[in-house]
Structures are given as structure tokens and as C-alpha cells.
Structure 1
């Protein structure tokens, strides 16, 4: 195609329109800056400015001596959720057990507060008090509290508040599906950091921060997909690393907090100027409630409020009323304690069954997933399991840089008899000979 324009803005718009209509496709190379400048009789700096704008907008990417080319546009990858294939037993959906969720209809009846209007406070006083008390012991002093529409929404809002397209964000490798998609669609560059049974590995984190990561996103417990949680000693090591990078934005996604068995250990050092702690209610009270507490420093809160303003996208006070009634109810915590035990037993039962037939699994300490390292082709194993009636999530879904050779199995709805059947079928699937080419 012919690129036209007499200013950087006109060149930018010409190329942008060509991408939108499909004349330029992902991977197509743009003319060298000098060559296009000569063709248009323009200073090369004008062309360079247009290309820089394209890169900043996520339309193009620079590859050094290989020039500038059109980018693949951000797309969401795999999503958590139920499969459309109802013939399979779904151990891939990442959902809580619906029978373990609290009956929210209990909290809908009764007198409702006055109608809330544009300009009202964005958080109900009773929910604000509950959240402040819950988070106070785990946050630096002077923190402020907001609400978001779930953990992924909170991550997206935090990224928009402090980061720009192209910024590097350190994340666990393997990484949660929602986090990968949120960062990808925000134009961020996720960089994987190694984890083990105690959580994120400090030396790996240090290397990524030295390489210019502007933010780090850490799951302190019930890491999805592996189930690992930070030990106290590991949290202290991570905090020491982060203390040397006070301007790195520290985001802690404590998504399983209401159901967590393991203790919370903070990684946020006193030197951090920008930090946030997210605690979603989705796993405990239900994904459709779409609410998460978001504690953060005052500067971050100020930026968040430009988008969570009472005239724009605050969290519905109707939802807040239901949640406040539920959390304040004296029966809620005992119920959640029973659910926590149920998930723990189902996770431990599957790991015990697998161990008994010689299949190792990750030393998960929380959550309702079991992470099973696999030797051989993941797709072959997944296919063999599907033939036997099981759907699992392949490790490839959680890829940051390197594809994890593992399966994630959600055990929240897996009773003992089905767990035994699954373990037997997994063993058979691993032993199934690979078909000849």
C-alpha cells in the first residue's frame, strides 16, 4: 500500500486506517524511516515520530535493525468457566462448588436503604467499616479502601492508573488466566517469574526487576493454577527484594482470602510508594457478585477515584447492601469454615490417590485446584482424558513465556468416588502409547 501524509499525525492516521480495514496485516513490515522520509519529501524525524506513536498505541512494534512491523492486536486467551461440552465431567472450569455458596436470596428481603444517586459516596459505610477492619492488620498504615468489580477488574484499573502500554509487569509463571488476559488487553508485557512450593522465587524476581519491570503482581496464597502459598520466610525475602525498588508498583492479589487455610504474609515493604492489596469475594460468595475490596496507598486511591467516581462506574449499592448483610451475618463465617474444610479434603484426597498410583502433584497448600506435572505431550494426555469423559485445563493456558508441562484439575466439585475414577483414568491416559506418525 502507499503511505501518505505531510505530518507525523497524518502518517500515523494513514497507517492506522490501513490496519483497521485490513490493508496492513499483523507481521507486515513498514518502510524504513529514511526510505519513507525520502519518498514523502519529509525529514526522517517526522516519520520516526509517526512510528513512535504507532508503537505507543500498540499498532506497531520496533525490532531494532529488523525495522518496524504491524503488531498482532491484543486478544483474550482462554477463559475460566463451564464447558459447552456437557458430555464431559468438567474439571477445568475453575469454579467454586455452587452447592457450597451462600444463598444470597436470604439477604434480599427486608428494608432497603434509600435510593442512591449520582454524587453519593461510592462505598456503603457498613461495608467500608467491615473492609477496613478485615484489611487493617495486613496493610501499611494510612491505607485507603475502594471497591472494584472483582479481582480482574481491580487489576485492569490499577494498571490503567499507573502503567502505560508496553510496560513490563512481573507475574508468576505459570500465571492465572484472568491476569494474563487483563494485562494483554491493557497492552502490558507480562514477564514470567519462577515459583516453587513456597511461592515466587526471589532470585527470579530480582532478575526481572533489574530488567526494567515497572510493576509486580503476586498471589500470596492459593496461587492459581498451582495452589502454592507464600511461607513467612519467603514473603520476607520477597519484601527485601522489593525494598530496593521503591517505585515498582506492587499489586497483591489475595483472591482466596475468605476461604484461605494458610496465613497471609505481606510482601509490601515500607519503602514502596505505590502498592495495592486486592481481596475478591468471588470464590467465597459467588463469581456473579463481581465485587472485590481494594486497599492501596493514597496516591493510587486518588487515581482510581477518577474512574470509580460516583457519576461513572462505582460498584452498585444494591450489590453492596447484599454483601454487607451477608458478611455481617453471624452464620457466614462458620459456613465459610465448613466450605474451606471441604475444599481442603477434596484437594488432599485427589493428591493422595494420585500419589498412591505413582503420579506426583505440586505441593499445593490452598485453593481448590491440583497442579499435576506431566511428561509427554499435553494435548495427547488431554485428548485421552476427554475420550474417557474428563475435561481438564492444559498448562499451556497459563503460559507467560514458557509452556508449563502440567494439568490443572479443579476439585471443588469432585467427590471421593469420582476422584478415584479420575485418578485411574489419568494413569491410563499417561500409559496410552502415542499414535504412530
Structure 2
């Protein structure tokens, strides 16, 4: 892990907020401090990023596309703005988590590359596995399958965003497999949808200082199913707002 290799306990790491919950668990487990950086549809925000770096962040972990849970992706303009910020902090380690890669639905716009380090023991990878991966990466049939998966996942997230918009519900999901919906009461929305047969994730695990919300994974939610889901979401919101006093 780059963070444990390059940093020492007590160092600060800039992390996306909202961000991937496993990373938010990992950073403090390594003895490192988290500095939250606000995210919008175009990725981490330059102003918040500059603030974190000025506060002493030694590294930043970010997602160039398919960001979880917001579904953000870097644009060329945002990349330029972030590189301008980084220019003033040349010693900062940049770690990009492109976990969705070719199924994210958009091209990768990256800030940096880092060569991984391999140990001679536990870091060794089987030659059979390497050959298998190399074969898959160069197989035209696999390439077509991955491209089709990317189009399918994009269509599903776009369908949900559009269906929610029909009910006046704002959401985020520019790339990847998730749609983030800002809400006032996460528990009420999660429980309300559960009674209607839908399972979504409360946003508590994904954010530090950013406002509440819920994450909807759209990988298996078809465009047809997005319509009743959005309707049930709107009804659940109405119920939760009524309980909270409007």
C-alpha cells in the first residue's frame, strides 16, 4: 500500500468527501489523519483541495472517474485546475484509484501515475495469473464485452438520474456504478425504501464533513426498474419530510 510505504504515522491524507468508505476506514487504521476535500460532479474541488494541502496533507487519494459514492469524474478543465494547485505543493503524493476503469462510461482524465512497488515475497504475482490477465486484456471479445458493460452501466445510472429528476429530486451520477442523492434524513429514506422492497446505502459511511445523502448502486437496476424506484423514492421523501415537520 502506497500510503503505508510513503507516509509515516500522524501524516495527513486528503480524501474525497463524500468518498469510498473502505478508504475512510483504512486511513485512520494506518495511523494517518484524514483531511476531507469536498467533491462535485467534476471531482475534488480545487478550493477545498488547496485548503487541505495548506493544512499539511502529505498525500491525496482521488478517483479520476466512477468516484464512489458521488459518481464524479475529472474533466479536462478540472484536471488543469487541480494541477495548478498541485504545482505549489510538489512533494505531495498523488494516488489515483481508477477502480471502475473501462466500465466507468467516460475516458480517464488523470493527474499522475505512480509505479507500484512489489515485494519479493508476498508481493509476487503468479506468472500464470499474469499471462491470463495479459491474454484477457488483448482479447477482442473481452474488449467488446467490457465496452458493452460500460454502455449498459452508464445507461442504467443515467436512467435513474432522469427518473429522479422527473420527481424534482436532484442527484449525482456522472460516471460509474452509483448515484448519490442528497437527503435530509438518511435513516428515514433507507428504512422507507426498504419497506417498499428497495435496498440502498445510508451515506453516513461515506462522508465526513459533507452534507448527508444516500448511495444507490445502479449496476443491476434496469431503466425500466428506475421508474418505480424513483416514484417510491419520492413517496419516501414526502413521508420523511412530513415526519420531520415539512
TM-score, with structure 2 as normaliser: 0.92
Equivalence for 1:372: 181
Q: Identify which of 132, 151, 165 aligns with 1:322.
A: 132
Contact 2:104 2:154 in 1 (8 A): no
Unaligned runs of 5+ in 2: none
d(CA) in 1 for partners of 2:244 and 2:167?
A: 24
Q: Identify which of 72, 77, 80 aligns with 1:236.
A: 80
Contact 2:104 2:177 in 1 (8 A): no
Matched, 1:416 2:223: yes
d(CA) in 1 for partners of 2:244 and 2:95?
A: 45
Contact 2:103 2:153 in 1 (8 A): no
Contact 1:346 1:411 in 2 (8 A): yes
Q: Identify which of 9, 22, 41 aligns with 1:197.
A: 41
Find the residue that maps to 1:166 and give its secondary structure.
coil
Equivalence for 1:312: 122
d(CA) in 2 for partners of 1:227 and 1:350?
A: 13
Displacement of 1:259 in angstroms is 1.7
Contact 1:221 1:256 in 2 (8 A): yes
Equivalence for 1:43: none
Displacement of 1:263 in angstroms is 2.5
Equivalence for 2:29: 185
Contact 1:394 1:406 in 2 (8 A): yes
Contact 2:17 2:210 in 1 (8 A): no
Structure 1 segments (4+ residues) deviating >4 Å: none
Displacement of 1:435 in angstroms is 7.7
Work out which of the two has the higher radius of gyration on C-alpha atoms and give 1 or 2: 1
Displacement of 1:419 in angstroms is 1.7
Identify if the C-alpha distance between structure 1 residues 343 and 166 changes in structure 2 by more than 3 Å, giving closer, same or farther: same
Matched, 1:174 2:18: yes
Displacement of 1:239 in angstroms is 0.6
d(CA) in 2 for partners of 1:390 and 1:413?
A: 12
Displacement of 1:403 in angstroms is 5.1
Contact 1:229 1:366 in 2 (8 A): yes
Contact 1:398 1:404 in 2 (8 A): no
* Matched positions, count: 243
Q: Identify which of 170, 194, 209 aligns with 1:360.
A: 170
Displacement of 1:318 in angstroms is 3.5
d(CA) in 2 for partners of 1:341 and 1:182?
A: 32
Matched, 1:384 2:192: yes
d(CA) in 2 for partners of 1:264 and 1:223?
A: 12
Alignment of 1:340-355 (within 5 A): 340-355=150-165
Contact 2:75 2:109 in 1 (8 A): yes
